[in-house]
Amino acid sequence: MSAITTHASSSGSSGLPRAVIFDAYGTLFDVHSVIAAAEQLFPGNGSALSQLWRQKQIEYTQLRTLADPSGGRYVPFWDITIDALRHAAARLGLTHALTSAAEKRLMDEYACLSAFPDALPALDALRERFGLPLAILSNGNPPMLDIAVKSAGMTGLFDHVLSVDAVRAYKPDARAYDLGTHAFGIARAAAREIVFVSSNGWDVAGAAWFGYTTFWLNRAALPVENLGVGPDREGRDMSELVAFIERP
């Protein structure tokens, strides 16, 4: 506790946050390779499939937690990702084309994503230049996150790789976000001292509602979600996050 208190008081004087927590998919990990594979497998439909797949993936996580917050409808993100892929394919009339081999190809791509090119330099800067502890807080289940971190060349960069699987409740359930404060030994009431970074507008809203300081990595240049809560800062790429950490 004394170490934490010291850190808090030093960060208070320096203006630095006590930690930075990252969403994973779309924020650190680039799903572009999945879209490319989808386009190869389903010419002319790759983009539509990827978009609907992602939409259904997120929707299914939220429906399952909302229907039973105690986790009775929870299934791991990997399984939801397959469920969502199959629905998206059916919706686009591609069920016949989604062979076992095609499905395996897409899921393999999903498992082994690259990092966005701006991610590693930013993570290094936050660690080396500012000495900030870092974490991932993701809907992904632990085996998915382990492989993704390795594939993206990010092994050893994070103090914590946190999966909502630990609470069987998907974001934006507050218990999911609370994994971050808990991992860093910080009370929820002090969540503002942590910066939460996500490319997903709804995730930023959930994190802001929870109490984090939020940075919306608005890679797709989308309008803000009208949920009555905005990000503390918005930027197009990770260099703008580093600038925000330096000059909040």
Q: Which x/- pattern, by CB under 8 A, does the window 162-181 give for a copy of itself? A: --------x-xxx-------
Task: State which residue, 101 or 221, has the beta carbon closest to a copy of itself.
Answer: 221
Which one among 192, 227, 230, 240 touches a copy of itself, defined by CB under 8 A?
Answer: 227
Q: In angstroms, rounded to a whole number, what is the distance separating the alpha carbons of residues 45 and 13?
A: 53
The answer to the question of residue 23 lying near a copy of itself (CB under 8 A) is no
174 burial (CB, 10 Å; 0-12 / 13-18 / 19+) is middle
79 vs 246 by CB, closer to a copy of itself: 79
Decide: is 130 part of the binding site for a copy of itself (CB under 8 A).
Answer: no
**Amino acid identity for residue 93 in this structure:** G
Residue 76 lies near a copy of itself (rule: CB under 8 A): no
Please give the single-letter amino acid code of residue 116.
F
**Residues of span 79-118 touching a copy of itself by CB under 8 A:** 83-84, 86-87, 90-91, 95
Q: Is 23 a catalytic residue?
A: yes
Over the window 140 to 159, marking each residue x when it contacts a copy of itself by CB under 8 A and - when it does not, the resulting string is: --------------------
**Which residues lie closer than 8 Å to 116 by C-beta, 6 or more apart?**
28, 29, 30, 219, 238
HEC secondary structure over 121-153: HHHHHHHHHCCCCEEEEECCCHHHHHHHHHHCC
DSSP 22: E
Find the part of the chain contacting a copy of itself (CB under 8 A) among 17-25, 34-42, 148-156, 203-211: 203-211
Encoded tokens for 221: 């240049």
CA angle 80, 111, 102 (to 5 degrees): 75
Choose, by CB under 8 A, the member of 222, 239, 243, 248 that binds a copy of itself. 222
Which spans in 68-200 are helix H? 77-91, 100-111, 119-124, 142-151, 174-183
Helix (H) or strand (E) holding 230: none
From 64, 137, 204, 245, residue interacting with a copy of itself (rule: CB under 8 A): 64
Told to check if 2 binds a copy of itself by CB under 8 A, we report no
Provide, rounded to whole angstroms, the least separation between the CB of residue 81 and a copy of itself: 11
Q: How far apart are CA 53 and CA 70, in angstroms?
A: 26
Residue 53 CB, shortest distance to a copy of itself, in Å, is 11
| Contact flag: residue 127 with a copy of itself (CB under 8 A) | no
- Residues marked active site are found at 23
Write out the residues near a copy of itself by the rule CB under 8 A: 55-56, 59-60, 62-69, 73, 75, 83-84, 86-87, 90-91, 95, 170, 172-174, 202, 205-206, 209-210, 222-228
